[in-house]
Amino acid sequence: MEEKKIVSVSLFSGAGGLDVASFLAGVPVVSSTDFDSDCIKTLKMNELFENSEVIEGDLHQIESSVFSDILRKRDYDKFIVIGGAPCQPFSKAGYWVGNNTRKGINDPRATLVDEYLRVVCDLHPDGFVFENVESLLHPTNRVIVDRFIEIITEQGYKYKIVRANALDYGVSQKRKRLFILGTLGEFQSDEPRKTHCAPEECERTGLLPYVNVGEVIAGYDGPEYYEPEEETKGGTYYSDLCEVPPGMNYKALTAWYGYENPKFVADKRFWSFLLKLSPDMPSWTITAQPGPWVGPFHWDNRRLRVPEIAAIQTFPKGYKFYGSRRSVQKQIGNAVPALMGKAMIEFVKESLQK
């Protein structure tokens, strides 16, 4: 049976994490869109998008017909919509500041989920991939998921809700995300295909062991990759950072850990304070807006370099980013790890081949 040609329309494309995933899954992206001008410039800087129509604009202001017109010019058998509405209203990190100061579902950005659904309902694609933070399932936000499911079911879609960890798909990063996957076809299996697992489970499962971060960022530690922004020397907590063993955080300097003259009190700081990578373990989540002493830091007691955080997010080597260091960190930190997204898109693609 000849494989059907499937293409994708990308919404909330950002720096292109899910778009790269789509290309990796053999589903060319015909259109990418974002409201952030730096993200748009990032996409246009990369050859991967030379045949994609890259649109800068707020999705609230972009008619669905814009995407219909683009699709009409392309040769394909079926198409899917991919994207994740900006997730800050639902981020687990938001719970740190307490429910009273979080806007949650009352945040105007939550309406971007409606815009995603609007495009899906108008275009009626053969399938879709929707990504967001896992805490979208928290009782505070659950109404959004329930309404999402109600709408896509009315549109005739079968769906899967997948709580995924990037580690299981070859990403060297502990990063949990929620995916809602939809198809007008038939899912061929219960869940997207995992490729990696904990080392002690490999013999039983036949999967590969989790990828350690030392393997992923090897080669970027030379002076040619130096960035002034990586410097921590002379900073408030530099000497403390140097004392934290690889794979630990500030709690290594507390009585809880048996530190002789405790400098901090366990559980009184955010867990990523002075968090340091170990080359022999996967990374923790790469964030979009880390504070000055928020990790993960390199085991050499410096901040991570752009090509390192891009590699941890499984962007292709040599992928270009436009903007200030702060902007680039935000773009990469907000992205869907490409290998994780690839597994999700392949799962939907498989359901459309018959």
Active site residues: 87
Radius of gyration of the chain (CA): 21
| Phi, psi (degrees; rounded to nearest 5) at 339 | -70, -35
DSSP string, 19-69: HHHHHHTT--EEEEEES-HHHHHHHHHSGGGTTSEEEES-GGGS-HHHHHH
The three-class DSSP label of residue 79 is strand
Contact 315, 228 (CB under 8 A): no
Give residue 340's identity as a one-letter amino acid code.
M
Which residue in 251, 256, 258 sits closest to 272, CA to CA? 251
> Burial, 173: exposed, middle or buried (Cβ in 10 Å; 0-12, 13-18, 19+)?
buried
